[in-house]
Amino acid sequence: MHPVLFSLGQGFVVHTYGVLVTVGYLVGAWIGTRDFRKSGQPPATFVGFALWALLGSFAGARLLYVIVTGGRIWEGGAVFLGGVLGALVALVVFVLVKRARPGPLVDAAALGLPFGHAFGRLGCFAAGCCFGKEWHGPFAVSFGPGSLASDPAATGTGTPPLFPTQPFEALLELGLGLALVFLRKRKRYHGQIALTWVVGYALVRTAVEVFRGDSSRGLVIPIELPSVAAWLGLERHDPLFLSTSQAISIVLALAAISLLATMALARRETRRA
């Protein structure tokens, strides 16, 4: 854990999380802008959308965090999937106001998202948030006293070995991003990359949530699978499902798969005609 990147005196502190999230946003926006330009669209349109999406995602991430945890809107905390929903609202408003084509926009954004999100998860690792369950397997990590992962009641002690959820998800995000780059060369219609990202991220998030140990993410229905938990190296009675993020991921994945299937059938009928 390295929450503070550097400080100047007593009043100016630069947090590692904020720096890495900013780097992730810039990397994602850069990749998206390049792809948007390759699609024959004006780069300025995507830059404008990226700013709208930033505001929408920030509002959505904060709002879902407040709904899930019961916290106050002005306090810290965010949920990534809430940011996705907020960005979708921003997309609808942007398309209506600017009369932009949504297909190229969402595909370009989806191509940059996994790479940017990977930096964000490394920021979580530095801050000690989004931590994993107790785990004694390889690459287990521990966070020191005073971290978000440590028990505030256990003064002066850190955490037991935990599953490294943050770097684990960062690696999965990079894998998803590379898969989308591969698919981009074989793209057949606008929206294909974005829908594939939804399915891919839903799978990533559902898997990572199995190992998450922070209770703030919330459980819709606690489902225990003792034999599976033991096989994974977790406590037998740790709930593996169904967190708020898993529930949202499943709904989004089913919707995206339905749209992908509909588009595939439509293309097949068009070829037959």
240-269 per-position pLDDT tens digit: 999 988 998 999 999 999 999 998 888 777
Query: For the residues of 171-228, what is the DSSP string, one character each?
Result: HHHHHHHHHHHHHHTT--STTHHHHHHHHHHHHHHHHHHHHB--GGG-EEEEEE-HHH
Residue 212, pLDDT score: 92
Number of domains comprising the chain: 1
Task: Write out pLDDT tens, residues 205-239.
Answer: 999 999 998 876 678 899 999 999 999 999 999 99
Q: What percent of the chain shows pLDDT beyond 70? A: 90
Tell me the pTM: 0.86
pLDDT at 90 exceeding the cut of 50:
yes
* Domain of residue 69, residue span: 4-272
Identify whether the C-beta of residue 50 lies closer than 8 Å to the C-beta of residue 111: no
Tell me if residue 40 falls in helix, strand or coil.
Answer: coil
Question: What is the average per-residue pLDDT within 149-176?
Answer: 82
Residue 153, pLDDT score: 46
